[in-house]
């Protein structure tokens, strides 16, 4: 190994470790989460009053880091990277992009409960009105189409087959056994938590399950691959890097790739169900409504009118208004990442296959990365700077099956689906669904999607 390569590897490691140190106290979701009592109060008042969340509420929650000092540290690291690696170094550019993201995050959290919070959220996570990469449809249009599909009577009927009868302690035992077996060379943790609002959350190598929640077998299947294989897996893969250890932590620029990959794993393993898929899709509609100026009650009632339960309607709405303004005008757009990232991951895999570069596909699990980083990271892998992913799901370890699956998908991608649907709709017209509701009566939706 040449002296220059050794110095370069040492610089990458030094800058990576420093970024990890600086960003460690920044906890975005902890800084904007609402107490569970807010939900109880809102539902008890039958949604007639806005949640009692104001700018004063956020000011009463101190940030877990010194904003001024952290900004100074990030600027110092940025200067050091530019001096040490040069502004044109490809891995250096990825490091710099992450540093810049954390600086915007600090500004966003400084503006909790203010209009600027929503603007900075859009800068970090995007907007529901943005178009998908290489496509003419917006994220909202795709979200609407998916929400429609997953709210059809047949989908609701299938979702009812997944009763939540598993207690939180039982769920911890089951999930822990599965993940310990998967992450055979690392110590991982599954534990109960009273400090999370959602039913499940991940922090580093730990999966947390809400003490108050009940779970279905389908939930545990989802958590195994979504929280486990993807979120914990990419953390551990990043930590295992000999030099680019920054891949173990993720700024908002990696959120779509991460969440989209996690949703894709739910689909590839057949772990998800229509109810779960609808919740993910509905989040896009909630973001778009908030971006258009709707207040908390308007978004909540929109979902209640779509026959979503009061609890589910509250939670999809709350996710979008945390950190923002319940009266409208500020919002948290992270929740478009699931649908947007799902499409981007699929298109990346299809494109890698179509262009004869399937070896890029396992790189999705290399660590916390944005899809556009992969060509640079793969080149660094070829040069011995980046190590291959330590943990890969079976279908990514041997991508033969993925190649066949997505090869077929790419090959039939140009078929006129509308014409195919009309053909089969004519054949299906005399079939009465189990729910006795005509599944094909809403043709207006497809026209709107175009």
> What integer pLDDT is reported at residue 389 of this predicted model?
97
Average pLDDT over residues 175-204: 91
Res 450 pLDDT > 50:
no
SS (H, E, C) the chain: CCHHHHHHHHHHHHHHHHHHHHHCCCCHHHHHCCCHHHHHHHHHCCCCCCCCCCHHHHHCCCCCCCHHHHHHHHHHHHHHHHHHHCCCCHHHHHHHHHHHHHHHHHHHHHCCCCHHHHHHHHHHHCCCCCECCCCCCEHHHHHHHHHHHHCCHHHHHHHCCCCCCEEHHHHHHHHHHHHHHHCCCCCCEEEEECCCCCCEEEECCEEEEECCCEECHHHHHHHHHHHHHHHHHHHHHHHCCCCCHHHHCCCHHHHHHHHHHHHHHHHHCCCCCHHHHHHHHHHHHHHHHHHCCCCHHHHHHHHHHCCCCHHHHHHHHHHHHCCCECCCCECCHHHHHHHHHHHHHHHHHHHHHHCCCHHHHHHHHCCCCCHHHHHHHHHHHHCCCCCCCCCCCHHHHCCHHHHHHHHHHHHCCCCCHHHHHHHHHHHHCCCCCCCCCCCCCCCHHHHHHC
> What integer pLDDT is reported at residue 447 of this predicted model?
37
Average pLDDT over residues 218-227: 96
- Could you tell me what percent of the chain has a pLDDT over 90? 75
Mean pLDDT (the chain, rounded): 91
> What integer pLDDT is reported at residue 443 of this predicted model?
38
> What integer pLDDT is reported at residue 441 of this predicted model?
41
Q: Place 414 in a pLDDT band, splitting at 50, 70 and 90.
A: confident
- Could you tell me what percent of the chain has a pLDDT over 70? 95
Give the model confidence (pLDDT) of 342-361 as tens digits.
999 999 999 999 999 999 99
Give the model confidence (pLDDT) of 136-160 as tens digits.
788 988 888 888 888 877 776 776 6
């Amino acid at each position: 190994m040449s002296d220059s390569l050794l110095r370069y590897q040492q610089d990458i490691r030094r800058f990576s470790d420093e970024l990890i140190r600086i960003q460690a106290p920044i906890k975005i979701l902890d800084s904007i989460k609402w107490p569970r009592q807010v939900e109880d109060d809102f539902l008890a008042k039958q949604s007639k009053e806005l949640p009692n969340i104001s700018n004063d509420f956020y000011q009463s929650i101190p940030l877990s880091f010194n904003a001024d000092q952290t900004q100074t540290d990030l600027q110092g690291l940025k200067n050091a990277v530019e001096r040490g690696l040069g502004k044109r170094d490809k891995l250096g550019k990825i490091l710099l992009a992450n540093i810049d993201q954390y600086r915007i995050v600090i500004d966003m959290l400084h503006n909790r409960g203010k209009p600027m919070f929503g603007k900075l959220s859009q800068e970090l996570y995007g907007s529901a009105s943005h178009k998908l990469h290489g496509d003419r449809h917006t994220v909202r249009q795709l979200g609407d189409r998916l929400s429609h599909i997953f709210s059809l009577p047949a989908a609701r009927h299938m979702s009812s087959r997944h009763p939540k009868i598993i207690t939180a302690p039982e769920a911890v035992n089951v999930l822990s056994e599965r993940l310990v077996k998967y992450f055979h060379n690392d110590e991982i943790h599954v534990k109960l938590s009273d400090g999370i609002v959602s039913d499940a959350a991940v922090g580093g190598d730990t999966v947390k399950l809400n003490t108050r929640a009940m779970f279905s077998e389908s939930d545990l299947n989802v958590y195994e691959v979504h929280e486990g294989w993807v979120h914990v897996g990419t953390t551990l893969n990043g930590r295992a890097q000999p030099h680019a250890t920054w891949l173990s932590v993720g700024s908002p620029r990696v959120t779509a790739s991460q969440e989209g990959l996690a949703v894709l794993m739910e689909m590839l393993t057949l772990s998800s169900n229509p109810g779960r898929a609808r919740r993910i899709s509905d989040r896009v509609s909630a973001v778009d409504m908030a971006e258009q100026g709707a207040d908390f009650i308007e978004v909540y009632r929109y979902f209640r009118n779509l026959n979503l339960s009061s609890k589910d309607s509250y939670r999809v709405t709350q996710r979008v208004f945390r950190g923002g303004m319940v009266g409208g005008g500020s919002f948290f757009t992270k929740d478009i990442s699931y649908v947007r990232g799902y499409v981007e991951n699929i298109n990346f895999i299809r494109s890698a296959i179509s262009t004869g570069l399937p070896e890029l596909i396992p790189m999705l699990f290399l660590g916390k990365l944005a899809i556009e980083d992969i060509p640079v990271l793969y080149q660094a892998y070829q040069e011995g700077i980046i190590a291959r992913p330590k943990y890969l799901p079976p279908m990514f370890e041997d991508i033969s099956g993925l190649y066949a699956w997505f090869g077929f998908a790419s090959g039939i991608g140009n078929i006129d689906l509308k014409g195919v649907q009309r053909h089969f709709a004519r054949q299906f017209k005399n079939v009465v669904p189990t729910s006795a509701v005509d599944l094909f009566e809403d043709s207006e939706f497809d026209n709107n999607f175009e």
